[in-house]
Structures are given as structure tokens and as C-alpha cells.
Amino acid sequence: MTRSLASRRSTHRLAADAGLLVVAAAFVLPLVWVVLSSLDTGADLRVKVPDGLTLDNFDAVLTPEITFTPLLNSLLLCGGGTALTVVCAALAAYPLSRFRSRFNRPFLLTILFATSLPITAIMVPVYALFVRVNLIDTMQGTIFFFAASQLPFAIWLMKNFMDGVPKELEEAAWTDGASSLQSLVRIVLPLMGPGVAVVTVFSFVMMWGNFFVPFMLLLTPDQMPASVSINDFFGNRGMVAYGQLAAFSIVYSTPVILLYVLISRRLGSGFALGGAVKG
């Protein structure tokens, strides 16, 4: 009986390990293809080791027209949109976290509903509105829409992290004459650094990979971000420059990876609030 149970557990464990290996392979193989194809001038859809390693694909894409200008546009759009999102989310989440009202729950449910709206369903009225207010084909207009589209979920995240900061710390600051805005900037936000980091990374990544919004709101080719210019590698009649596409994909992914590395310590540090309100 004991041997049968042990054998059954071993079988289930092997099946689980096999399933995890299949899932891992599904994620790893595309990354392996990108790396190998970027070093192969004759790359295709197969995952293969190139006959000879070369950097010709990187030389072909590392030009102002193909890479540098679109990446700069992406950094301006996503950086500006992320900064605006984080600031507005903090200001909106603070009263929701600190003050109790019968309108808090309906407001949060409305925000939650806004996160479920498909962006394609609202682009037609947004496009018409941007034409009316002369924001079409402008970087600032696209930044505003980026921030507005990410703000609902950012408020949810920011409020949940803000709830973990003891209110007693703010009350002590209020006793010393600090205003609500000063306590938010000097006490709450520094203590919820991991939460701010999560909102920043989430917002930046979602904007960085967005193709549809800048494709619709920007018309001038010189203003297109990298998420749109990557479409240029797909030629007519199904012709694709796979090697250059892979090289561009690696360069395109670098800013997001660097952002995560820079703030990874904040993500892993947690809330150091133990004993803060004792005594």
C-alpha cells in the first residue's frame, strides 16, 4: 500500500516536471531563436546554429532612421507617459486610501470596469476628439492618452500598496505641521518605494509594447516609436528580414531590461515598517 502510494506520487511528480519543461521550452525557444537569428545573415523561422557568427544584422539596423530615432521617440513617449501616470496615480490613490467615503467603492469599481475596456473600442471617438482639439499627430497628445489608458490599473495598484503604510506615521507628521501633500511626498511614497517601482515598471512596459495607439494617433514617420517602426521589417508578399528583425528586437528590448535591473532592488526590498509605530 505504501509502495503503491509512493509510486503514484512519483508518477504525478514526473508528469508535473514534464509539463513544466514543456512550458519552459515554449518560452525559451523563441528567445533562443531571436539570439541565434540576430547573428545569422541567412536566418529563417527555424531555430538553428548559424554557420558563422556575424554582426552584420546589427550593423544594418543600428542607423538613425531604423533604430535610434524610433527608440528616442519611444523613450519620450513611454517615459513621459509613465511619469504622468505615476504622479496622477499617487495623487488619486492617496484620498482613496486615507479617507473613508461611501463613494470609494463605486469609484474603484468604475476604475476596475475601465481597465476591462478594449482599447480598440474607444480609439474611434478618441481619434475624433484629438482631431477636434488639435492633438492628433503630436507627442504630447499621445503621452496624455498613454497615461489615461494606464491610469485605472495604476490607481488600483498604488492604493493597495499605500494601504500598507501605517497612517500613524502621517499623523505624527501632521502634528509637526506637515500638510497632507508633504506627508504623501516625504513619508508615504518613500516607504512604499517597491509599490511605486511596480507601478513604474508595469506602466512603462505596457506603453513600450503598444503598437496600436501610436499607429493611430501619430501620422508623421519621424515621430513613430520603435513599436511601430518594427513593422517595417515585414516586407511585401510575405518577405521578412528575419535576421535584422531579430537584431532589432534585441535592441528594442534593452531599455525595458535595463529599467527592471535598475529598480530590481526596490522591487525586492519590501516594506521596512517593522516597529515603526511602536512605543
Collapse the DSSP code of 246 into the 3-class scheme (helix H, G, I; strand E, B; otherwise coil) and give the result. Answer: helix
Residue 252 has pLDDT above 80, yes or no: yes
The average pLDDT across 72-82 equals 95
> Which pLDDT band, with edges at 50, 70 and 90, does 84 fall under?
very high
> Which pLDDT band, with edges at 50, 70 and 90, does 232 fall under?
confident
- pTM (2 d.p.): 0.83
- Supply the pLDDT for residue 123: 87
Collapse the DSSP code of 228 into the 3-class scheme (helix H, G, I; strand E, B; otherwise coil) and give the result. Answer: helix
The least confident of 102-106, 112-116, 253-257 is 112-116
Collapse the DSSP code of 240 into the 3-class scheme (helix H, G, I; strand E, B; otherwise coil) and give the result. Answer: strand
Q: Which residues are CB-neighbours of 245 under 8 A, at least 6 positions away?
A: 37, 230, 233, 234
Residue 80 has pLDDT above 50, yes or no: yes
Number of H helices, E strands in the chain: 13, 0
DSSP letter for 234, please: B
Higher pLDDT, 30 or 277: 30
Q: Give the closest residue to 206 by CA, choosing from 101, 46, 77, 16.
A: 77
- Supply the pLDDT for residue 104: 79
The average pLDDT across 152-159 equals 90
> Which pLDDT band, with edges at 50, 70 and 90, does 276 fall under?
very low
What sign for the dihedral angle of Cα 7, 10, 11, 12? Answer: positive
The three cell numbers of residue 43 are 536566418
Contact indicator for 261, 185 with CB cutoff of 8 Å: no
The three cell numbers of residue 99 are 479617507
Residue % of the chain over a pLDDT of 70: 91
Ramachandran class of 155: left when φ > 0, alpha when ψ lies in -120 to 50, beta otherwise: alpha
User: Residue 270 belongs to what H/E stretch?
Assistant: none
Residue % of the chain over a pLDDT of 90: 30
Residue 207 has pLDDT above 80, yes or no: yes
Partners of 234 in beta bridges = 240
| 169-204 pLDDT, tens digit each | 877 878 877 787 888 888 888 888 888 888 999 999
